[in-house]
Structure 1
Amino acid sequence: MSRLELGVCYYPEQWDKSQWRDDAKRMVDMGLDWVRIAEFTWGLIEPERGRFEWGWLDEVIGILGDAGLRVMMSTPTAAPPKWLVDDCPEILPVGPDGRVRGFGSRRHYCFSSDIYLTEARRITTEYARRYGENPFVRAWQIDNEYNDHDTVLSYSNAARTGFRRWLQDRYGTIEALNRTWGTVFWGSLYSDFDQIELPISLVASPNPTHALDFARYSSDRVRDFNRAQADILRRFAPGRDITHNFMAGSFEFDHHAVAADLDVVGFDSYPLGNLLGSSLSDEDKRRYLRTGAPDYQGFHCDLYRSQGRGRMWVLEQQPGPVDWAEKNPSPADGMVRLWTWAAFAHGAQAVMFFRWRQAKFAQEQFHTALLRSDGSPDQAALELAQVAKERAALPEVTRQKAAVAILLDYESIWAADILPHDDAFPNAGIFRVWYAGLRALGVDLDFVGPDDDLTGYSLIVLPQNMIISPDLAKRLHHSQAKLLIGARAGSKTVDMWTPENLAPGELADLAGIKVIRVESLPDLAGESVSLESTGTFDFKGWREVIETENQVIAHFVSAYRAGSPAIVQSDRAMYLAMIPNGPLLRAILIKALTWAGLPIRECGPDLRVTQRGDLGFGFNFGAAAQVLPDDENRQYIVGTSEIPSYGVSVWKWK
């Protein structure tokens, strides 16, 4: 699909059946195309083992389909029923404190439980057999928000048993594990795989390779759980799209790997819900309190579009105040419309709003929806109506491949959390900051993983890629792209060892440098970088001492080794020996884009522009009007060259 499709998350089981038919009619009248249902219905459909009550769900699907809506059915495995927990309490997850996490909420299962995997396959098969070829059920969502409530890492007995099996498959012999983990350090050798425990409740930090392997194992269990259900759906629901709703801001498992088994990659977008807990300054949080950070949604749209090989849906779009953050402000009027069009501009094929009607009981009573609990339309419904009207004027277009890619590797993020060297090391936050810096310069972006095709890009950016395999280094070399390489890149092997040639390890030839020392500095250190022909800029935190015979384009201004290289440029790469932010990052990005021969479109803090096919989009996240640098070749379809506060403009070129 290349036109914007609209949908809503619906919980008919929470409302009297007398409302269902009217709900369906109102959805169609609002311009909705899709309805997502049933992700928490296992206990309703199977109230006791082997006894199924399908009647009400059959009726709902019929009502929705007869009204002209397409149904996205969900597998209900995110909330196993109480009878199953009572029969098999070992399926429950265990937190890092060693305590079992109990029934009464959701996500109360352990990915390592083979018992639960068998039960998940069983109930998925039942749902798929019943609705797989139903003409109204046109897509499937597997489970719901892997890692919500921090549930990827479980420290259960099942996890310990599964981890030991995984290690034996990986290493073959305990001697190989001891060598790879370096257990001679602190005399922590093992003589059998059954001696290995999970990396928690230790006196000091765990062996870093041990901890990284447990993160890898846990990620593999998510992939296997997702794949098991996807295989069942492909068998019983041929021709239907299969998706999962990833959580924005989650890096605890490898989304690249899980996405490979999906037809469409979905995610849940809550720009305000995630604002106050972000690393933005208080000034920026105040500035964007009612809009969300300008690049929050774009980051995740571009990430999941890339992982979906061009196919991405927003499966939950924030409609108003949420209920789960520390504080829950209302979005400015117009922002739900802006977020919807921004998602489309960044490649979304569909946007679904969470939810249809605000709950009047249980945990989410304060979470707003398209309708209030009494059925009256809330602000989001008014903005949805505007979007539905505007989309009729837009031609069908697809998002094109970008000239710039960001390389995001989940294992490098886990590795830096395990071995930070700096308690304030920004880690995953570096990706967001660099992405925002590039978007503020008008750059459209793709994301790539370490196993993806890297050809065809003019510039590949490596903000934090601590682990670089020989294969990845080889493919970066053959990509012919210019490389902007952040500090710590290649500083660890896949086994979490320091490379034989020191950092940046496999990237040494491309970068033309050797890191001989690293340090992390407190804010009071007052360090600066002098960038040639540009100026002197402050930075804080991470700093490296490097040797090079290549061109040095920036030097450290410091009481310690003043004048040592801060940025080195070879024929293919710029390497940064520090973590830049603010004006320094902006200056570096401009230099890298210019070096790669790419255009720069200055946007300022509140304006964002992007392109989808032959359409251009402008979005104003600010309280004051923003004026686009207009030209005579633009023909505006929505709005004008002056974008009002929280407004949108769309144009095509004549």
Structure 2
Amino acid sequence: MSKLELGVCYYPEQWDPSQWRSDAARMAGMGLDWVRIAEFTWGLIEPERGRFHWDWLDDVIEILGRAGLRIMMSTPTAAPPKWLIDEHPEILPVGPDGRVRGYGSRRHYCFSSDVYLAEAQRIATEYAAKYGQNPHVHAWQIDNEYNDHDTVLSYSDAARAGFRRWLAQRYGTINALNEVWGTVFWGSLYSGFDQIELPNGLVATPNPTHALDFRRYSSDRVRLFNKTQVDVLREHAPGRDITHNFMAGSFEFDHHAVAADLDIVGFDSYPLGNLMGSTLSEKEKRRYLRTGAPDYQGFHCDLYRGQGRGRVWVLEQQPGPVDWAAQNPSPAEGMVRLWTWAAYAHGAQAVMFFRWRQAKFAQEQYHTALLRSDDSLDQAALELAQIVKDRENLPSTTRVKASVAMMLDYASIWAADILPHDDDFPNSHIFREWYTALRCLGVDIDFVGPEDGLEGYALIVLPQSMIVTPDLTTRLEVSGAKLLIGARSGSKTTQMQTPSNLAPGALADLTGVRVARVESLPDIARESVQLQNGQLFDFAGWREIVETEANVLARFKSAYCDASPAVVRSDRATYLAMVPSGALLHAIMRDVLEWAGLKPLDCDPDLRVTRLGTLHFAFNFGDMPKPLPGGGSRRILIGSDPVGARDFTVWQVN
């Protein structure tokens, strides 16, 4: 892994051409390596069908390239022009309320539209043929933030027709579909695929397999849309890396599948913008109001590094207050620098800041940038100067394979959304909570998908894997790793049915558990879980009544089925019959790490440590200095011991 590369998102079309040359010179002078451009330029390049205005973009590319900057060009399909909408209004997406979503912002297209797919392929071909082998264009981004504004699920006529075709291909006969969906329930049988509607606007909840299949179909359409443009770029821009900027915290389509067609997995990082929507307590949100959650950057870099087969870039890094959250605080001074190096420590090869200059018109006027709209330096630019100095002090190194892997399965997340059984079930948030619990103990983590290789790990954790196939079970078994398996795992088949042997289905032999009943408890239940050592923890939420002959490590103290198993351990697996959080989760994680032969590290709650090859990093999200954990002789390259407040330290072990 080479040294960290730095970039910026630039919108030259929003500024007078007289500024372009000075902008390029300033970017290069500030130590930037990359400039990402053009993701919203379709209507400017092709103001009418077949009439192209390339001259201004030619000039921009030449100016940036001559300044020594490498360009990431974008296909402009995230914002189709008005003339195309007028020609084909049927390409507009339709919300779950059945209302067509109109033109005037962005992402106003339906993934199911074959008309739009062809238009996207056409314009991507025009851009790729024009710039695919330009010596200044070194990489490409496809589209922009696929699920922004909740646009993956569209309930259009095109989606209905496409879904019907997808179902016919999947099931072959309508009788097979009726059998799998269990349409005998409520007498909702079908006699032909042309009778099937989309799962919205119903009196009650839809058939769960119907809903899950629609999620799968919609995800497949995202992959098709992405791959169609990938294929264009492979032909016209050989040798150039291809990426897309996933939205951090988005689980609406299968990122594993889409990432398989990319060279680099990119994501957009907004730690403060996403803080208030997290599951942190109100006390924690106050504490981290100006830093973001300590594990935000690490979680997403680790997740997308796994999907990118080691290659992850931050394609938009928050530079200051954003403009799209309910409230938009400023980050503490130094946090942009800290976030940047946290990304690098977790394997990011490049970080691009959003954006070069703050907009003075339209929707994002309050979204900060490196420069204010009057060209003066904002705080992020000052921190960029320090980042450039920092990287001169660090040798090149590479992230090594972790000892712990976390499995994330998108279909299981959709399944729990469809059949929650508990309106407060944390679902995708479970992954963040488990990740945080492990990171607080100093553990580095790789993410894997259900189709990925599992060899070489001491511990594999499955926080929320409702759907577990026999093939995955076999690969877990032969991996040799110890397993930590969360509640609900294996509780549904791929057809969204209860396994014939009850939950955890295919995992029954590995866990030594049979789930006899599930319930969900409100906070007023005031029940608890007691560990073998006598520690007692408050508990509410998802609970399972399990039968087992394996070792019971913790039991429920409850008004119902008192002393039933809460944590069960077989030779290979530790199974949780509930969804722990807080101190209970941390106690379980510490025990499981020791059981797997790994040594937990005692870290301050505000401190996160990680390793990148020969480099060790410690990031302090607190407002007081924190001593480095552990001991031994160190050679500090950046920072100090103790680690400064809202600062970081990098060292090598002597």
1:284–1:163 CA distance, 2 compared to 1 (3 A):
same
Map 1:487-526 to 2 at 5 A.
Answer: 487-526=487-526
Please report how far the alpha carbon of residue 604 of structure 1 lies from its aligned counterpart in structure 2 after TM superposition: 2.4
Name the CA distance, whole Å, in 2 between partners of 1:495 and 1:470. 13
Deviations 1:469-518 (A, max 9, x none): 11111111111100000000000000011000000000000000100000
Q: Give 1:608's aligned residue.
A: 608
Please report how far the alpha carbon of residue 630 of structure 1 lies from its aligned counterpart in structure 2 after TM superposition: 5.7
Deviations 1:420-446 (A, max 9, x none): 100110000100100011111111000
Q: Give 1:31's aligned residue.
A: 31
Amino acid corresponding to residue 281 of structure 2 in structure 1: S
Q: Give 1:620's aligned residue.
A: 620
Please report how far the alpha carbon of residue 534 of structure 1 lies from its aligned counterpart in structure 2 after TM superposition: 5.4
Q: Give 2:540's aligned residue.
A: 540
- 1:293 aligned to 2:296? no
Q: Give 1:367's aligned residue.
A: 367
Amino acid corresponding to residue 194 of structure 1 in structure 2: D
Q: Give 2:353's aligned residue.
A: 353
Amino acid corresponding to residue 555 of structure 2 in structure 1: H
Q: Give 2:186's aligned residue.
A: 186
Name the CA distance, whole Å, in 1 between partners of 2:265 and 2:529. 41
- For residue 61 of structure 2, give the secondary structure of its aligned residue in structure 1: helix
- For residue 545 of structure 1, give the secondary structure of its aligned residue in structure 2: strand
Name the CA distance, whole Å, in 2 between partners of 1:250 and 1:645. 31
Name the CA distance, whole Å, in 1 between partners of 2:105 and 2:404. 42
- For residue 611 of structure 1, give the secondary structure of its aligned residue in structure 2: strand
Name the CA distance, whole Å, in 2 between partners of 1:632 and 1:512. 42
Map 1:37-116 to 2 at 5 A.
Answer: 37-116=37-116
Q: Give 2:318's aligned residue.
A: 318
Map 1:164-563 to 2 at 5 A.
Answer: 164-533=164-533, 535-563=535-563
Please report how far the alpha carbon of residue 2 of structure 1 lies from its aligned counterpart in structure 2 after TM superposition: 2.1
Please report how far the alpha carbon of residue 629 of structure 1 lies from its aligned counterpart in structure 2 after TM superposition: 2.9
Report the TM-score when normalising by structure 1. 0.99
Please report how far the alpha carbon of residue 631 of structure 1 lies from its aligned counterpart in structure 2 after TM superposition: 3.5
Amino acid corresponding to residue 328 of structure 1 in structure 2: N
Q: Which runs of 5+ in 1 are unaligned?
A: none
Amino acid corresponding to residue 305 of structure 1 in structure 2: R
Q: Give 2:642's aligned residue.
A: 642
Please report how far the alpha carbon of residue 601 of structure 1 lies from its aligned counterpart in structure 2 after TM superposition: 1.2
Deviations 1:374-414 (A, max 9, x none): 00000000000000011011100111110001100000000
Please report how far the alpha carbon of residue 527 of structure 1 lies from its aligned counterpart in structure 2 after TM superposition: 1.2
- For residue 530 of structure 1, give the secondary structure of its aligned residue in structure 2: strand
Deviations 1:112-131 (A, max 9, x none): 00000000000000000000
1:630–1:573 CA distance, 2 compared to 1 (3 A):
closer
Q: Give 2:565's aligned residue.
A: 565
Tell me how many residue pairs correspond in the alignment. Answer: 654
Name the CA distance, whole Å, in 2 between partners of 1:276 and 1:204. 31
Name the CA distance, whole Å, in 1 between partners of 2:400 and 2:629. 23
- For residue 392 of structure 2, give the secondary structure of its aligned residue in structure 1: helix
Please report how far the alpha carbon of residue 634 of structure 1 lies from its aligned counterpart in structure 2 after TM superposition: 1.1
The answer as to whether partners of 1:267 and 1:315 remain within 8 angstroms in 2 is yes
The answer as to whether partners of 2:601 and 2:629 remain within 8 angstroms in 1 is no
The answer as to whether partners of 1:534 and 1:587 remain within 8 angstroms in 2 is no
Q: CA RMSD in A?
A: 0.7
Q: Give 1:12's aligned residue.
A: 12
Please report how far the alpha carbon of residue 280 of structure 1 lies from its aligned counterpart in structure 2 after TM superposition: 1.4
Name the CA distance, whole Å, in 2 between partners of 1:225 and 1:322. 29
Name the stretch that deviates more: 350-359 or 597-606. 597-606
Name the CA distance, whole Å, in 1 between partners of 2:534 and 2:623. 31
Q: Percent identity?
A: 74
Amino acid corresponding to residue 539 of structure 1 in structure 2: F
- For residue 160 of structure 2, give the secondary structure of its aligned residue in structure 1: helix
Deviations 1:253-302 (A, max 9, x none): 00000000000000000000001122211111100000000001111010
Deviations 1:594-623 (A, max 9, x none): 000112112222100000000000101011
Name the CA distance, whole Å, in 2 between partners of 1:578 and 1:145. 34
Q: Which runs of 5+ in 2 are unaligned?
A: none
Deviations 1:344-376 (A, max 9, x none): 000000000000000000000000000000000
Q: Give 2:135's aligned residue.
A: 135
Deviations 1:611-646 (A, max 9, x none): 000000010101111110363421000012211111
The answer as to whether partners of 1:274 and 1:325 remain within 8 angstroms in 2 is yes
Name the CA distance, whole Å, in 1 between partners of 2:136 and 2:653. 38
The answer as to whether partners of 1:464 and 1:488 remain within 8 angstroms in 2 is yes
- For residue 155 of structure 1, give the secondary structure of its aligned residue in structure 2: coil
Q: Give 1:583's aligned residue.
A: 583
The answer as to whether partners of 2:289 and 2:329 remain within 8 angstroms in 1 is yes
Name the CA distance, whole Å, in 2 between partners of 1:213 and 1:320. 40
1:534–1:393 CA distance, 2 compared to 1 (3 A):
farther
- For residue 519 of structure 2, give the secondary structure of its aligned residue in structure 1: strand
- Runs of 4 or more, structure 1, over 6 Å off, are none
Deviations 1:99-120 (A, max 9, x none): 0000000000000000000000
Please report how far the alpha carbon of residue 536 of structure 1 lies from its aligned counterpart in structure 2 after TM superposition: 1.0
